[in-house]
Amino acid sequence: MAETVKERIVTLIPGDGIGPEITKVAVNVIEATGVKIKWEEVLAGESALCEYGDPLPEHVIASIRKNRVALKGPLTTPVGGGFQSVNLRIRKALDLYANLRPIRKFPGIKTPFDNIDLIIVRENTEDLYSGLEHIVVPGVVESLKIITERASKRIANFAFSIARRWKRRKVTAVHKANIMKLSDGLFLKTVREEAVKHPEIEYNELIVDNAAMQMVMNPSQFDIVLTENLYGDIFSDLAAGLVGGLGLAPGANIGDGVAVFEAVHGSAPDIAGKNIANPIAIILAGALMLDWMGETEAAKKIRKSVELVLEEGKVRTRDLGGTANTVEMGDAIIEKILKM
């Protein structure tokens, strides 16, 4: 993680749909911790497309490169056509090779499982998300799955480094090397080579379909899940569903000395502007961001405050079974922070 910096300037991307509402609340929560941040706001997504003719103008990437850190609201990705995913473009432009998704069961949230505290580490730059597709002949499309030793090695190193730094006990590699013997085989071979360098950390492997079954039957067996891009995308949402949904799931995209933190859920245009969206995911993403900046005490305050509010159960947005609005949820968390 990055060292604490003297001048904290953070790129802020409000996002589409509910993005501006929840990012505003997240900014208020972060500032309530006492950390002084200057927010450099830039537009991306549909709003940037309308303003600049490009959903990801070059000055957005330039801002993140300069500041080294960004907090991003959800961005709309057209399905089956339209412009390329802005999230994907940001990751590629900045080489944000590691996607980090902590999945934690909070007290007060009713789910079938009580003991879930895992981290999904997902390779973030290649695999089928390389976006290399073409029409072979009419009616036949080929999509290329790219796996490289370089990308596999650095994501494996990242996962074991996180395990060591955060005192995690086990890394589970998820793959399909029994079928994709060359691509997933290369990934698995590279991860094994990294695992032997860390004998203090338990290591095991699961084929992806078995891993999916194990995740919904006994999620507490997982600690750090290390996997490729597509599997990681699917597993992140699957695991989030076990703890209450994407409204409680933060995410981080991390490269060498640069990182973008985000709520991983969609832009929810159907409820945009209604002040009813759950802001907790991006608030927790803000806590991850503070950790990365070296502001660990402020990050702890945010997580503890979220935990206390959810445990009390008096203030909850409708996706969590309550009636509170976006601002009320943020205010409840801020109230806990200020009492610490």
How confident is the model over 183-193, as pLDDT tens digits? 999 999 999 99
For the chain, domain boundaries: 1-96+249-340, 112-242
Out of 129, 203, 231, 301, pick the active-site residue.
129
CA angle 292, 155, 201 (to 5 degrees): 85
What pLDDT is stored for residue 340 in this prediction? 87
Out of 176, 203, 231, 291, pick the active-site residue.
176
Average pLDDT over residues 287-310: 97
Out of 209, 256, 274, 314, pick the active-site residue.
209
Are 1-96+249-340 and 112-242 the same fold in CATH?
Answer: yes
pLDDT tens per residue across span 122-141: 999 999 988 889 999 999 99
Average pLDDT over residues 187-211: 98
Q: How confident is the model at residue 84 (pLDDT cuts 50, 70, 90)?
A: confident
Average pLDDT over residues 158-168: 96
Taken as a whole, the chain contains a residue count of: 340
Question: Are 210 and 179 within 8 A, CB to CB?
Answer: no
- What homologous superfamily does CATH list for 112-242? Isopropylmalate Dehydrogenase (3.40.718.10)
Asked if 66 is an active-site residue, the reply is no
What pLDDT is stored for residue 16 in this prediction? 94
Distances (CA, A) of 83 to 45, 49, 88, 209, 249: 10, 10, 11, 31, 26
Asked if 304 is an active-site residue, the reply is no
User: Taking the model in full, what pTM does it have?
Assistant: 0.92
Asked if 129 is an active-site residue, the reply is yes
Answer whether residue 6 shows pLDDT above 80. no
Task: Write out the two tokens for 162.
Answer: 């996180």
Out of 233, 301, 319, 336, pick the active-site residue.
233
Which residues in 144-291 belong to E strands, given as ranges?
170-175, 202-207, 224-227, 250-254, 259-263
Answer whether residue 291 shows pLDDT above 80. yes
- Name which of 251, 243, 252 is nearest 319 in CA terms: 243
User: Could you count the other beta carbons within 10 Å of the beta carbon of residue 311?
Assistant: 12
Asked if 233 is an active-site residue, the reply is yes
Answer whether residue 80 shows pLDDT above 80. no
What fold characterizes domain 1-96+249-340?
Isopropylmalate Dehydrogenase (3.40.718)
